[in-house]
Amino acid sequence: MRIRSLIIAWMQIMRAFQIVGVIIKHALREYRSRSRFLNAIFGKRKAPRLQVHTTQERLRVTIEELGPTYIKFGQILADRPDMISERFRLELKKLQSKAIPMSDSFAHELIGKELGQPIEEVFAWIDDQCLASASIGQAYRARLKTGEEVVLKIQRPHIENKIKLDLYLMRYLARRAAITYPEMAAIDIVGLIDEFGANILKELNYYTESSNIQRFAAMFKDDPRVHIPKVFNDFTTRRLLVMEFIDGISPDHINELREKGYNLKTIAMNGADVILKMILEYGFFHADPHPGNIFIMPGNVIAFIDFGMAGVLRPRHMNFLADFAMGFARSDSKTISNALLHLCDVKFFDHEEDMQFEIEQLMRSNSYIPFEKLDFSKVIQDCLNIIVKYELRVPSSIFLLAKALATLQKFAMDLQPDLALGPVILPYAKKLVMQKYDPRKLASGIYETLTDYVTLVRDFPSNVNEILYKIKQGKIQHIIDLNDSEPARKAVRQFSQRIALVILLSGMLVVSTIMVTWGENRVLAHTSFTVAAIFNLWYVIKLTLKGKR
């Protein structure tokens, strides 16, 4: 175990040196590009093959050289306007995973190991050349012994360990940055790394993608407009995914679609409707529906591939969309503002009035645009930009949603530039609002709230006893440093004196009450009770008058 720990520590150190080396190399190049003195000295040298002109380009090139973990993290940052500026986001959108393909014979060997048997016993043939190569794995076309045309996705060896190593170092650096720079802590950079790590590790597990594919297939099993590839579970493992080969045309090849008689308007309308159905009806959607992940099959059928990352909307996210739709329909900026704050889980917000005013201006700027021509993805993105301006944190699923809507709009407009998405969105928006304000759902919510209150009242005495017991045992401590605060010390002394006096007067009142009730000396008892009552009344009046002053 100790030897293994030493090996891991050594790998971490070596990877850290490699990362630092790449960063220093590009940082020096950036410095040289900005230094007139160094340009004067080295300016006549032969220019490098890769021309980089801006800081944003330099960052992108650096990330690409650091490898798959950083590339995927950069791609996520490209969709997070609350994290980085627009200039950097536009450049990070160009990130590409450039990886040298594994040798085909080695990849075939890995496939055989994952199958646990010779590949000849499962496949009639496997293509000698990979269909596609990425930093995480490679894809091959093949045919099963039973005759089905399939695609195999085989993961690169040891890629999971490499990514885990990078995640460890990224988290360490994020924690140090959060300590050193308070603004980094404010955006919860450590939480972002943890969320990213969980997502990329899920993506490395091909069972996750297989599960996503089968979930989408169940959603659209009765919809003839959509085709989801079949997964062959008998041959799929954690590192090998075997699924149906999709023979279709990319939506980018518009001329080819026209030549072969496809109806572009039907494809655009169906594509928009299907993606909106994923988002607004099921709350589970393809996170990256760009043309590379969509194919058009005969009969204008739309096929989706690459389900490694899917967006999931929680009930509160769906409620946000319902409130957003209702607020927009009623031109009610307050409803939209409240929906955004609730989405960000903010209870108290000092700039609510300012944010509401900006939303109102945004709505006015769109009020003269016909509903059917409204750019809904831009409206949502503009609202998210307002949230970002006030440094509020938005759930990552909402950014995936905004990205999916923007991609959807581009997909539809490329195929049919005059297509109106408003009529497609409207039925889903109405259904979403009706579901939220359904009387049965409202009654259920009220019942759950009442149940929570009953539980709170029922458990209150035992919770108080538990707190008092912990205080008595010294398990709850709160240290207040009053060394440099004379007013605070004076206030504590006055508070202590008042508490002591209240206890004394209350004790007098209780004792005199007992004497009046059961005592034999009635004169002394009534005198004590009267004195105690007068003192208590005097103290209450004194506190009341002091409070008014």
At 169 the pLDDT is: 85
223-259: per-residue pLDDT in tens?
Answer: 999 999 999 999 999 999 999 999 999 998 999 999 9
Better pLDDT: 379 or 210: 210
At 181 the pLDDT is: 67
Better pLDDT: 527 or 87: 87
Looking at the chain, the whole-number percentage of residues with pLDDT higher than 90 is: 23
pTM of the model: 0.70
At 116 the pLDDT is: 92
At 46 the pLDDT is: 47
283 conformational bin, left if phi > 0, alpha if psi -120 to 50, beta if neither: left
- Mean pLDDT confidence for 516-528: 55
Beta-bridge partner residues of 141:
151
pLDDT of 342 strictly over 70: yes
pLDDT of 328 strictly over 90: no
- Quick one: which of 130, 113, 112, 131 has its CA closest to 122? 112
Looking at the chain, the whole-number percentage of residues with pLDDT higher than 70 is: 70
Residues 216 and 124 sit within 8 Å (Cβ to Cβ): no
34: confidence class by pLDDT, cuts 50, 70, 90 = low
Residue 79: phi and psi, rounded to 5, are -105, 15
What is the distance between the alpha carbons of residues 211 and 517, in angstroms, rounded to a whole number?
76
At 44 the pLDDT is: 46
What is the distance between the alpha carbons of residues 289 and 269, in angstroms, rounded to a whole number?
15
548: confidence class by pLDDT, cuts 50, 70, 90 = very low
Say how far residue 382 (Cα) sits from the centre of its chain.
18
At 55 the pLDDT is: 78
DSSP 226-244: EE-PPB-TTT--SSEEEEE
Residues 373 and 420 sit within 8 Å (Cβ to Cβ): yes
What is the distance between the alpha carbons of residues 404 and 412, in angstroms, rounded to a whole number?
12
What is the distance between the alpha carbons of residues 215 and 375, in angstroms, rounded to a whole number?
30
Pull the structure tokens for residue 179.
């300590």
At 213 the pLDDT is: 96
Q: Rank 51-65, 162-176, 264-278, 337-351 by mean pLDDT and report only the highest.
A: 264-278
Beta-bridge partner residues of 150:
142, 244
pLDDT of 351 strictly over 90: no
At 40 the pLDDT is: 56
Of 187-196, 435-444, 507-516, 530-539, the least confident = 507-516
- Mean pLDDT confidence for 498-517: 54
Q: Produce one character per residue of 15-51: b if its CB has 16 or more CB atoms within 10 Å, e if not.
A: beeebeebeeebeeebeeeeeeeeeeeeeeeeeeeee
pLDDT of 431 strictly over 60: yes
Beta-bridge partner residues of 286:
310
294-297 and 132-133 as β-strands: parallel, antiparallel, unpaired? unpaired
pLDDT of 387 strictly over 60: yes
- Mean pLDDT confidence for 220-224: 94
420 conformational bin, left if phi > 0, alpha if psi -120 to 50, beta if neither: beta
Better pLDDT: 47 or 353: 353
Q: Tokens 């008998």 — which residue?
A: 234
- Mean pLDDT confidence for 292-321: 90
Pull the structure tokens for residue 224.
């003839």
The sign of the CA dihedral 342, 343, 348, 350 is: negative
pLDDT of 222 strictly over 90: yes
Neighbours of 328 (CB within 10 A): 23
The per-residue pLDDT of the chain, averaged, comes to 78
Better pLDDT: 395 or 139: 139
What is the distance between the alpha carbons of residues 408 and 403, in angstroms, rounded to a whole number?
8
pLDDT of 312 strictly over 80: yes
Q: Rank 64-68, 249-253, 342-346, 466-470 by mean pLDDT and report only the highest.
A: 249-253
480: confidence class by pLDDT, cuts 50, 70, 90 = low
At 122 the pLDDT is: 94
- Mean pLDDT confidence for 327-337: 82
pLDDT of 49 strictly over 50: no
